[in-house]
Every structure is written in C-alpha cells, then in structure tokens.
Structure 1
Amino acid sequence: MRQLVEAKVKPKSVKHISNGYPLLSKETIDLSGMTVEEGDILRLVDTQGNYLATAYYGIQNKGIGWVLTQKEQEKLDKTFFLQKISKAVGKRTYFYQAEDTTAFRVFNGEGDGIGGLIIDYFNGFYMVSWYSEGIYSFREDIYQALNEVVNVRGLYEKLRFNKNGQYIDQDDYVSGEKGEFPLIVLENGMKYAVDLNDGAMTGIFLDQREVRKALRDRYSEGKTVLNTFSYTGAFSVAAALGGSLSTTSVDLAKRSLPKTIEQFAVNEIDYEAQDIKVMNVFDYFRYADRKDIKFDVVVLDPPSFARTKKMTFSSAKDYPKLLKDTLKITNDDGLIIASTNNASFNMQKFKKLIDKAFKEANTRYKIIETHQLPKDFTVPNNFPEFNYLKVVFIKLMN
C-alpha cells in the first residue's frame, strides 16, 4: 500500500528543488528514522515545513527518487500520467508523421516529467523501460494512460532495477499484438532489425540516429570505415549505404556477428564483402597497428565502463589513451567520430579529454561537427547535465 511521507529537504538542496531540479539523492532529503518503501509519495518540505514539491521514492543508479510536481494539490493518478504522456506524444508529432523513420523515443524520463520511465516506439509497437521498482508501482495507471493517448499495436516492457538484491534486466510481452521478430524499422530511410523480446537491448541505440545519418550522408563515400564496439553494426550499415569502400566491425560479444550480418542483410548489403570481427577492440588496435592497417574513418563508441580479464576501461579516465591508440590506425587526413554516453562529465570536459590525447600524440586536429541527444530525447530545461550523449567529429590535420 502506497503511503504519503513528509520528507525534509536538507538546507543546501532547497534552492535546487525549488528551481525544478528533478533528481533526489541521499544527500537531498533526510529520511532518518522513517520507513520508506518503493513507490511511496514524498511530500518535500523545507526545514520550516513549507511545501516544495511532490516526488516518488524509487532507487536506481542515479538516485533515490524523482520530483513529479511542484503543485501541492496535484494528485499522482492516471490523469496526471495521461497529461504527461499526451504532452510528450504531442512533441513527437514530427516523428509520427515521418515516412522515413519508424523508431524513436516517445517519452524520455525526467525530460518529459517522469524520471525513471522511458517509452520507445518501434513501427507501431511500444516498449516501456522501468528503471526502479518505485516507478513500476505506477504501472497500471501509466499503461492505461498510454493506451488512451496512442494506438498501441503491441506493448512490451523492460524491467531494469534491483529487486530483493537481485538485478532485474528482462523484457516481456504485456498486451496487444505479439511481435514477430526481428521487426524491421526505418531510420532516415535505413532499415534496422530490432527485437523487443531478446535481452537488455533491442539491436539499435536510438540516440545515435543523427550521428548515423551524418556518417552516411557526409563522411562515408569512397572511405574505409572502422566501427569499434560495434554491437549490431548499425554504424557499419550507415557507412555502407553511404558508399564506403569497405567496413570493418569489431565487437567482443559473440552475438555481434549474427546480429551484424542480419543488419546488413535487411538492407540488401552483401555482408560477405564486409569485415566482421569478434574480438576485443583493444586487441584489434594492436593487431591493426602491427599489420599497418589504417582507416579513413573510425567510429569510437565505447561503453562508459568495461572490464575484461586483461583490463578495465573507464571512459572518464581512459578515453585519451583510446584516442591515441586510434590515431595509430587512422590515415593522416582521416576522421575519428568520438562518442561517449558517460553522464559524469559534460561536452566541455569531453573536448578537454580529446585535446589532451591529441597534444600528447603531437597531432593537429579540427572539430568539424558535434552532436548531443536528438530532439526526441527531451532534456529537462536548465539542466544540461542530463544530456548525457556527446559525439565529436574530429578531422586529423597532419
């Protein structure tokens, strides 16, 4: 049974909450001596008891809850979620009407007013990702609201939170039509195969849509392209459709091979003419350097953190070294597309990491293009730190 709990905001955080900052951390509120459960409503007050905002309690990797409203009388019921989802859908009218794109984000968590809730659209199907047990406790109202706002062909969900000490990362059919996977979606006219019922990810990262389009339209023709940490080869498909001379896709996961072949195949690209390697990217760098293999374009989109038997990689600490290794296998007038989704630093810091690498390598460069989250990935007003994606197109000037 959900309860209403009055929680005092610590003095140093009052201004933050009053200004609309949506995320609650353990340092934000004082819950000492209280019993609070996932999904409980928090009435946030200052030390004098004055109302500040209403939030829900839900533990995820970012914090312990999210502010939902600063209107004291507003109820967190189906009507509330209906209004939020309606507004979000209205912002995406362009995407719903686009003939060349049938996969996009419909609701982007805190950017659309409900932290911990993500809704993506895939050619008529909707996939809802829940990032805490707290927000999941509102599941019934949210699904009813979604079905009232849009025509849901089929509904799937992904649970991405800890429950009873065990991490849950699963997906499941909820209602409507059951999808036949792979489902083919369009992205700026390119085809991608997705599966909404196959583990943590779908087969494509929607936030890189405009980066793939830039690669296809402006930087691939007549070029040799290396796609590192390639996942299902989405960047490789974009490069091939852009007229690249060749693509090389490298990823450590064994399933990347059949998934990359699948992506080439649905675009009627001869995958046998492409190079797909299942191996550690850092081992491949050493191999390519040893064999004097160089590329015109290199795509770098590493995970924020990765650990293997041999090494640990942290983008916040190790990106300069990754870039220096990349320079060894990039042609003198080549292009590096450097990307990170690490939310712990901003674009300015990312550019400093890039500059550090090039100075240490004594190599001149020019930034010719930058990207952050596309417009369907709404970010809260005045809080750019939630714009986690940073992509920099770096032209070598040797």
Structure 2
Amino acid sequence: MKAGMNVKIELTNNGIKRIRQGNPLIQIEDLKQNIKKIPLEWVTFVDGNDKYVASGYLGKQNKGMGWVLDRTQRPIDRAFFIEAFKQAIQRRQAFFADGTTTAFRLFNGEGDGIGGLTIDYYHDYLVLSWYNQTIYHFQQEILDSLLVAFPTAKGVVEKIRFTSDLRESQWLMGEKPQEPLLVLENGVSYAVYLDEGYMTGIFLDQKEVRGRLTEGLAAGKKVLNMFSYTGAFSVAAAYGGAVETTSVDLAQRSLPKTQEQFAVNGLPLEQQKIIVMDTFDYFRYAMRKNLRYDVIILDPPSFARNKKKTFSVAKDYGRLIEDSVEILSDEGMIIASTNAANLSIKKFKQAIEQALNNKQATYHLVESYRLPADFPASHFEESNYLKVLFYEIKK
C-alpha cells in the first residue's frame, strides 16, 4: 500500500453495496466506526474482513461524508489526476469546437470521477470550486495536474465552498482578465466577473434553456423572469425576439448587473424592465396593475431568506406557480426550474401540477431539461440536480 493510503476505513455492508452499484458518495451511515477527526489524506475503504473495496477520502460537505475515487487499487497521485482531467477535456471537445459558446463546465465533480471539485471554463480562464476541506488539502497537487492536462489556461481562480477562514474567492495563477470578461453562449454575450465572491454572473448549467430562448421560443412575446439574478434568461429571450422582458430580483446588484448584460449585446433597454423587489410582492403588484405575461420563468434558489420570510423550493414552489397563473396570458407558458438536489423530478412535477389543478388551468408539459452534457451526473439521483419543465397553459 502506497504511503498516504494507509488509513483504512471499514464500511457497512449497505455502503459497500451502494459503491458496487456505482454510487461514489459516502454517507455517514456507511461508516462502521465513529470518525472523531477526519483524516486529511486518501483512505482505503475495506469490508469487515479487511478486504479492499475502494479508495477515496472522507470530507464533510452539504451532501455526504466523502467520495470514492477509485475501485482498482491504483494510487491516487498526480498521474491519477492528470488522467482524470485529460479524459474530462477529451469529453468536451465538441464544446471547445463550438465557436458560439466559450463558457462551460470542464470538470463536474463526481460525474467526472472526483467528487468535491468542479472546474468551469470561461474563455481560457478556469474557475476551481472546492467543496470540502480534504480535497482542498491536495490543492497544489491537483492544480499542478490540471495545468499539465490543460497548459493553455491563461489564469486560475478558486472558490472555497466549505466553512473556513479562507477568502471565498482568490486568484491562484496567471493574469487576471479585464473585467467584465465577455463570454459567449449560443452566440449571446455574457459579462462575467471571475473573482467576485462565489457567483460569476451566469449559471452555466442553464445553457440549453437559454438556448431555447435565444432560438426564439419567446419571439414576439412578453417575458417575466423571476429571481432574475443578472438577467441572463431575459437577455437570451430579448436576443431571441421577445418584445419585452421584465426581470425581478430582490438583490440591489441585480439592477446594474442586468443592465450590463443587455448593454454588452447592444440590446435596447427601453423594452426591458428591471425591478428590485421580492418576487411575491411583485406578483401582488402585477395583479393590482393588471399586468399580463406570455412567458414566465421561475428559477428560485433552493432556499432563500430575506428580512421577513424564508423561501424553500420543497415547500413554496406551488405558490409561485399559482401566483404565476394569475398574471399569465390566456394562453401562456411557464418555465419552471429548480436546482434543489433533494427534490426529485417526480415530486417537482407533482408540486407544479397540483398548483395548476388548484387554479383549474389546462396544461401540457411540452419540454423538459436536465443537466447538459458538460455536467455529467453520477449514479445517484441528487447528482442530476437540475430540473426544468416547460408547461403550456390555457386558463
């Protein structure tokens, strides 16, 4: 056994069974012993007879207690990482070849074989996100391996997505781009800031949904984009011929950020409304003013809290749908999206359709999207977290 792989962790039979079925996530109940202090090193997972099951690590993050990285007893070292990165890059050759898109996910954690780490590509710059302390402990080895596999990176920034005293975002190597850095997606420009906290200005997993808007799904229509963040859906809709967009978000920064996204595409601001307001307050305002929209996009955070109340997808999505129906045109569309990993597609669909039934609306599910090809998921449901459903609705 190679140095650094001498920590053995015994797993329960159930845990072993799940790993053998291809699930790389280690849960606390899969561990035979109570772990007082998480080892900051690679570990060997064994069965009750001390027999090898898998190699990986323990690391606390929002999902689970650690990850399996290998089941063949090969050492987890620089060569291991270089190969994993090269394979991920190879799988994304179609994205590199597409001149209309210059931002996508280069390495998707467990879907590409290494849970706890994601890497996004923004026009020759890389954004690394670390999801637990243990994988971050190997930061230098992983960074060195990445630069062997991807030597053309102009710069690398990291995001610390676990509780720590470290700065949440910091530049690791290379030059900082002039900001905003403009990236393309489906031919549309988006202004991104790679070193402004966790968010860059665009959620790359929604590229196919924005692509449908860019192609003209909302051409000639009035679009309402709720929880709009930097207005990316609104920009895609306007680019695809929407006659008017309204973007609503509670964050003050959403106003200048959204204006900037329209500006970098040369889209006139006269037809775009950008409103800083709580979503539910805006629904009430729109009802009072008798406003109507042909397409309503709902993409809330899984959980949000403002001064007055909390919002959780599992509990409150139905209300969003009911309020949307009230201000939808007689024949309209709701694009319902969630990235809540703990809500199954079945439950999500039920919540939406229950709300539509409550409003006695006639509806038809016309399209649905999960994670795009650059976000490969692993063999457990929470890994494929994105769910986007397009409903045509008649009132």
For the aligned pair, the TM-score class normalised by the smaller chain equals over 0.9
The equivalences for 1:1-398 within 5 A come to: 4-32=6-34, 35-37=37-39, 39-72=40-73, 74-150=74-150, 151-163=152-164, 170-380=168-378, 382-398=379-395
Distance 2:11 2:160 in 1: 29
Task: Give the unaligned 5+ runs of structure 2.
Answer: none
Contact 2:190/2:202 (8 A) holds in 1: yes
Provide the secondary structure at the position in 1 that maps to 2:29. coil
Measured after TM superposition, the shift of residue 31 of structure 1 is 3.2
Measured after TM superposition, the shift of residue 206 of structure 1 is 0.2
Measured after TM superposition, the shift of residue 48 of structure 1 is 2.2
Distance 1:327 1:146 in 2: 48
Measured after TM superposition, the shift of residue 218 of structure 1 is 3.6
Measured after TM superposition, the shift of residue 116 of structure 1 is 0.7
Contact 1:5/1:36 (8 A) holds in 2: no
Provide the secondary structure at the position in 1 that maps to 2:8. strand
Distance 1:267 1:27 in 2: 51
Measured after TM superposition, the shift of residue 332 of structure 1 is 1.4
Taking only aligned residues, the RMSD between alpha carbons, in angstroms, comes to 1.5
**CA deviation profile, 1:43-102 (whole Å, cap 9, x unmatched):** 111222221111112111111211000012x11111000010000000000011111000
Task: Give the unaligned 5+ runs of structure 1.
Answer: none
Q: What TM-score do you get using the length of structure 2 for normalisation?
A: 0.96
**CA deviation profile, 1:180-209 (whole Å, cap 9, x unmatched):** 110000001000000001111000000000
Measured after TM superposition, the shift of residue 272 of structure 1 is 3.8
Distance 2:104 2:63 in 1: 23
Measured after TM superposition, the shift of residue 11 of structure 1 is 2.3
Number of residue pairs matched by the alignment: 392
Measured after TM superposition, the shift of residue 2 of structure 1 is 5.6
Provide the secondary structure at the position in 1 that maps to 2:354. helix
The one-letter code matched in structure 2 to 1:223 is: K
The one-letter code matched in structure 2 to 1:22 is: P
Distance 1:309 1:104 in 2: 34
Distance 1:35 1:285 in 2: 49
The one-letter code matched in structure 2 to 1:337 is: I
Q: Percent identity?
A: 48
Distance 1:65 1:33 in 2: 12
Distance 1:387 1:356 in 2: 23
The one-letter code matched in structure 2 to 1:114 is: I
Contact 1:225/1:296 (8 A) holds in 2: yes
Distance 2:36 2:277 in 1: 50
The one-letter code matched in structure 1 to 2:31 is: I
